[in-house]
């Protein structure tokens, strides 16, 4: 089952963006303190293993939905046809898992799951019907839980690579930098490793701060007390 995560990042202003740099002691590089309000840019991002993104100056429903429909149609055309009956599918690949027992009518085979924010425009009747007719099940993140959308994590990485230490002058320049960074990401994506080296370091640090008490499940954050 294909899974897509979609989110809109921004708006980003034409202002200097702080970034890491090496400078002589006492001669730190200064950022301009004034800027002109030339407009903003936003990044529309559906993320799977490959990022598909488009830079825009605004992201209302009239801009987002037509673009996302075209991207979904391209993705569905690349997927194998859904010919397996729903009863023979795994539980997570069934309409009933997301919709329950209530149905509006016969639906095409489920082919793609779309994870995105719980916004009113994303839940409009016309849009949801279009998704169901094309075999797409929308899964909405809970209110105040947009961080559960993996697209946000990818966007933070892309925006940091594109804008840190830069001073864009126009929204068009912002859009160009963001889209070029997406092209670079797709050419050599950074893999997400669960329970990798960073996770192991956090576990070791926690073990140093919280010592087990006599082999029990309780812990103590003051190792000096255990020594006594």
Task: Please say if the pLDDT value at position 208 is more than 80.
Answer: no
In 3-state terms, what secondary structure has residue 107? Answer: coil
| Highest mean predicted confidence (pLDDT) among 20-24, 47-51, 76-80 | 76-80
Cα separations (Å) of 44 from 4, 109, 163? 13, 27, 16
Q: 30 vs 138, which has greater pLDDT?
A: 138
pLDDT band at 31 (very low <50, low <70, confident <90, very high): low
> Do 115 and 220 lie in a common domain?
no
Percent of the chain at pLDDT above 70? Answer: 77
Say if 193 falls within a structural domain: no
In 3-state terms, what secondary structure has residue 90? Answer: coil
> Do 102 and 47 lie in a common domain?
yes
> Do 217 and 140 lie in a common domain?
no
> Do 77 and 116 lie in a common domain?
yes
Task: Please say if the pLDDT value at position 216 is more than 70.
Answer: no
Task: Please say if the pLDDT value at position 72 is more than 80.
Answer: yes
Quote the CA–CA distance of 35 and 187 in Å, as a whole number: 34
> Do 90 and 131 lie in a common domain?
yes
- Bridging pattern class, strands 2-13 and 112-116: parallel
Please work out, in degrees rounded to the nearest 5, the angle formed at the alpha carbon of residue 144 by the alpha carbons of 189 and 152.
Answer: 10
Number of domains in the chain: 2
> Do 153 and 81 lie in a common domain?
yes
Strand partners, 13: 40
Q: Please count the other Cβ atoms lying within 10 Å of the Cβ belonging to residue 50.
A: 11
> Do 26 and 136 lie in a common domain?
yes
At 196 the pLDDT is 75
- Bridging pattern class, strands 219-220 and 211-212: antiparallel
> Do 8 and 120 lie in a common domain?
yes
> Do 181 and 218 lie in a common domain?
no
At 219 the pLDDT is 64
Say if 192 falls within a structural domain: no
> Do 220 and 181 lie in a common domain?
no
Q: Where are the alpha helices (DSSP H) in the chain?
A: 61-78, 95-99, 125-133, 150-163, 171-187, 197-209, 223-227
String of b and e for 90-105 (b: at least 16 CB within 10 Å)? eeebbbeeeeeeeeee
| Highest mean predicted confidence (pLDDT) among 12-26, 46-60, 127-141 | 127-141
Average pLDDT over residues 32-39: 59
In 3-state terms, what secondary structure has residue 40? Answer: strand
Average pLDDT over residues 48-62: 77
Say if 40 falls within a structural domain: yes
Does the pTM surpass 0.75? The reply is: no
Closest CA to 145 of 119, 117, 124: 117
At 37 the pLDDT is 62
Considering only 16-30, 63-77, 155-169, which range has the smallest mean pLDDT? 16-30
Task: Please say if the pLDDT value at position 222 is more than 70.
Answer: no
Q: Please count the other Cβ atoms lying within 10 Å of the Cβ belonging to residue 121.
A: 13
Question: Containing domain of residue 223, as a range?
Answer: 200-227
Task: Please say if the pLDDT value at position 171 is more than 70.
Answer: yes
How do residues 123-161 score in pLDDT, each as one tens digit? 888 888 888 888 888 888 887 777 777 888 888 888 888
Asked if residue 161 lies in contact with residue 188, where contact means CB atoms within 8 angstroms, the answer is no
> Do 57 and 147 lie in a common domain?
yes
What Rg, from alpha-carbon coordinates, does the chain have? 23
At 226 the pLDDT is 47
Cα separations (Å) of 173 from 7, 12, 37, 48, 226? 21, 11, 14, 26, 59
CATH number of the domain residue 26 falls in: 3.30.420.10
């Amino acid at each position: 089952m294909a899974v897509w995560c979609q989110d809109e990042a921004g708006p980003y202003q034409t202002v200097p963006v702080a970034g890491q740099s090496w400078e002589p002691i006492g001669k730190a590089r200064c950022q301009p303190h004034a800027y002109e309000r030339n407009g903003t840019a936003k990044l529309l991002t559906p993320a799977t293993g490959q990022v598909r993104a488009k830079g825009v100056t605004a992201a209302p429903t009239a801009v987002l939905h037509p673009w996302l429909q075209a991207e979904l149609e391209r993705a569905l055309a690349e997927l194998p046809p859904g010919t397996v009956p729903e009863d023979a599918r795994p539980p997570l690949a069934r309409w009933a898992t997301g919709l329950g027992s209530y149905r509006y009518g016969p639906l095409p085979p489920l082919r793609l799951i779309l994870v995105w924010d719980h916004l009113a425009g994303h839940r409009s009747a016309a849009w949801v019907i279009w998704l169901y007719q094309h075999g797409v099940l929308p899964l909405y993140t809970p209110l105040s839980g947009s961080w559960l959308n993996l697209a946000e994590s990818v966007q933070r990485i892309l925006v940091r690579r594109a804008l840190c230490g830069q001073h864009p002058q126009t929204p068009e320049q912002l859009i160009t930098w963001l889209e070029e960074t997406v092209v670079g990401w797709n050419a050599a994506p950074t893999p997400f490793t669960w329970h990798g080296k960073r996770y192991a370091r956090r576990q070791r640090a926690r073990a140093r701060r919280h010592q087990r008490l006599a082999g029990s499940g309780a812990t103590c954050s003051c190792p000096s007390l255990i020594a006594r």
